[in-house]
Chain A
Amino acid sequence: MSDIEERVKKIVVEHLGVEEAKIQSDSKFIDDLGADSLDTVELVMAFEEEFGCEIPDDAAEKIVTLKDAVTYLSANSN
């Protein structure tokens, strides 16, 4: 597991209160991990905080799975 994936997973565990073992790379935050739309906004804020970047709204809307987050942050984080 990449460093980025590990950090993203940790944030997801903390914010959504799900067990780490249940999070797959293609798990959808809303459909599979019990998040609601407000949770996903907060998740994106936490990613921004952790990775020191700003995720624009149109990019944030496309981050629906763990993999999406890791892919975006690998390309855009500082």
Chain B
Amino acid sequence: MRRVVVTGLGTINPLGKNVSTSWNSLINSKSGISKITKFEVDNFPCKIAGLINDSEINSEIVSNRDQRKIDRFITLGLIAAAEAIKDSGFSSTDESSIRSGVMVGSGIGGLDTIYKNSSILDNQGIRKISPFFIPSSLINLLSGHISILYNLKGPNCSPVTACATGTHAIGDSFTIIKNNKADLMVCGGAEAAICPLGISGFSAARALCDTFNDQPEKGSRPWDKDRSGFVMGEGAGVLVLEELSHAQKRNAKIYGEVKGYGMSGDAFHITKPSEDGNGGYRAMKMALEESQLNPDQIEYVNAHGTSTQVGDMIELSAVERLFGNNKNLFMSSNKSAIGHLLGAAGAVEAVFSLMSMQKKILPPTLNLENPDTKSNINLIPHMSITKPVKNIISNSFGFGGTNASLIFGL
């Protein structure tokens, strides 16, 4: 059986412009959530988000001129991809390029670009629409750009499964390598939907936090009694996955192994998760079965944990059902620090999951002041915990009732 390992990590997110900076902020309980200042939010119920300062975007990787021709989600994805590919030490040859693919997705893609061009069409007419409008907005153009830049001619596509996108991209890439359709995949997710239309849309769906506008860093508080919705974040996470012997042959550094991948559908509601948590439970169980691990071998859950009223408790009960209401099980939500990166969330959280195993540190759940649960599971409030773990499960659930879980092991 072909085994799949992780040989490169890259991210840019509200806590930093690369893996090491953002990881250090994460384990030191820093928050990346701040007040939105780049557009007028006076009339918006939610005025906070996990933002990346433009000065963090390295124009040596994506020039300012190129940034004008691509939506921000592609820029962020290219920055994370550059770090991951450099980190992996891989460079494609004529022979290896056809066995090396790309699968980086996005939940929404170029929303702000679509909005702006729509306004231009209405106000100025068709002749003012840029020829780069469509290619700068399409979600799979991120995978396309990465393939062109790094000469990767294997499988090339982009999943679009809302907030589960990043996790599906990694899981589907794992399956592609396992099934011998590629030896290496650059995979993950990117998102940049913090724009007037994005905030408006999620606010209208009553999904965003609207009670901590004056204390942004307190807004994302999974499992806390005062949680009132998620805080949107932007960024990207990219992993290089590789068949084990392919990685060993080139003496690549190995962060960990992808051991299992599960996915399911709720068949319940367009935005709410199924109340019995059955969808998330089945995704985790499918991943566990593929990994051939026992439930008690999973020591840490990198939760979806978005800080919404309903979702947090449903995930917790599904975890309890599968792994037991167990005080030796640790579970935390990176979203408490970076917000919800939608289609990038699962990918950035996979990066942090692998760092957790490598560094033997479990990151905290910020703002968990009054847990809305009596669960015995250790939700790691406020401060990170030093603890070696061998196997981790990472969950992502999305609008439409789509669920995905990944198991990483050392």
Known: A17-B63, A17-B65. A48 touches B127 (CB 8 A): yes
Complex contacts, B128 vs chain A, CB 8 Å: 45
B127 touches A45 (CB 8 A): yes
Question: Please, how many angstroms separate the alpha-carbon atoms of A9 and B34 in the complex?
Answer: 42
Complex contacts, A45 vs chain B, CB 8 Å: 127-128, 130
Closest to B63 in A: A17
Give the contact-size bracket for chain A: under 10
Question: Please, how many angstroms separate the alpha-carbon atoms of A17 and B64 in the complex?
Answer: 9
How far, in Å, is A47 (CB) from chain B's closest CB?
12
Question: Please, how many angstroms separate the alpha-carbon atoms of A8 and B310 in the complex?
Answer: 58
Question: Please, how many angstroms separate the alpha-carbon atoms of A27 and B135 in the complex?
Answer: 27
Complex contacts, B115 vs chain A, CB 8 Å: none
Partner of B132 from A14, A42, A54 at Cβ < 8 Å: A42
Contacting residues of chain A (34-61) with chain B, CB-CB under 8 angstroms: 38, 41-42, 45, 48, 54
B131 touches A42 (CB 8 A): yes
Binary CB contact string for chain B from 122 to 137 against chain A (1 if under 8 A, 0 otherwise): 0000011011100100
How far, in Å, is A49 (CB) from chain B's closest CB?
8
How many positions in chain B have a CB within 8 Å of any CB in the partner chain? 8
How far, in Å, is A19 (CB) from chain B's closest CB?
13
Question: Please, how many angstroms separate the alpha-carbon atoms of A17 and B132 in the complex?
Answer: 16
Partner of A54 from B63, B127, B131, B135 at Cβ < 8 Å: B127
Known: A17-B63, A17-B65. A38 touches B132 (CB 8 A): yes
Complex contacts, A54 vs chain B, CB 8 Å: 127
Question: Please, how many angstroms separate the alpha-carbon atoms of A15 and B69 in the complex?
Answer: 10
Complex contacts, A17 vs chain B, CB 8 Å: 63, 65
Complex contacts, A48 vs chain B, CB 8 Å: 127
B131 touches A41 (CB 8 A): yes
Complex contacts, B65 vs chain A, CB 8 Å: 14-15, 17
Known: A45-B128, A48-B127. A38 touches B63 (CB 8 A): no
Question: Please, how many angstroms separate the alpha-carbon atoms of A45 and B69 in the complex?
Answer: 14
Complex contacts, B63 vs chain A, CB 8 Å: 17
Complex contacts, A15 vs chain B, CB 8 Å: 65
How far, in Å, is A50 (CB) from chain B's closest CB?
13
Known: A17-B63, A17-B65. A38 touches B127 (CB 8 A): no
Closest to A14 in B: B65
Contacting residues of chain B (17-53) with chain A, CB-CB under 8 angstroms: none
Question: Please, how many angstroms separate the alpha-carbon atoms of A58 and B130 in the complex?
Answer: 18
Question: Please, how many angstroms separate the alpha-carbon atoms of A45 and B128 in the complex?
Answer: 7
Question: Please, how many angstroms separate the alpha-carbon atoms of A41 and B130 in the complex?
Answer: 8
Complex contacts, A42 vs chain B, CB 8 Å: 130-132
How far, in Å, is A37 (CB) from chain B's closest CB?
8
Question: Please, how many angstroms separate the alpha-carbon atoms of A21 and B120 in the complex?
Answer: 34
Binary CB contact string for chain A from 10 to 31 against chain B (1 if under 8 A, 0 otherwise): 0000110100000000000000
How far, in Å, is B20 (CB) from chain A's closest CB?
31
Question: Please, how many angstroms separate the alpha-carbon atoms of A38 and B128 in the complex?
Answer: 14
How far, in Å, is B26 (CB) from chain A's closest CB?
36
Closest to A43 in B: B131
Closest to B135 in A: A38
How far, in Å, is B308 (CB) from chain A's closest CB?
41
Question: Please, how many angstroms separate the alpha-carbon atoms of A38 and B131 in the complex?
Answer: 6
Complex contacts, A38 vs chain B, CB 8 Å: 131-132, 135
Complex contacts, B130 vs chain A, CB 8 Å: 42, 45
Question: Please, how many angstroms separate the alpha-carbon atoms of A78 and B160 in the complex?
Answer: 47
Complex contacts, B135 vs chain A, CB 8 Å: 38
How far, in Å, is B70 (CB) from chain A's closest CB?
12
How far, in Å, is A10 (CB) from chain B's closest CB?
14
Question: Please, how many angstroms separate the alpha-carbon atoms of A16 and B131 in the complex?
Answer: 14
Closest to A15 in B: B65
Binary CB contact string for chain B from 109 to 152 against chain A (1 if under 8 A, 0 otherwise): 00000000000000000011011100100000000000000000
Mark B residues whose CB is within 8 Å of A: 63, 65, 127-128, 130-132, 135
Chosen A-B contacts, 16 in total, with CB atoms closer than 8 Å, are A14-B65, A15-B65, A17-B63, A17-B65, A38-B131, A38-B132, A38-B135, A41-B131, A42-B130, A42-B131, A42-B132, A45-B127, A45-B128, A45-B130, A48-B127, A54-B127
Those 5 A-B pairs whose CB atoms lie nearest each other, nearest first: A41-B131, A38-B131, A17-B65, A42-B131, A38-B132
A sample of 8 more A-B contacts (CB under 8 A), given A15-B65, A38-B135, A41-B131, is A14-B65, A17-B63, A38-B131, A42-B131, A42-B132, A45-B130, A48-B127, A54-B127
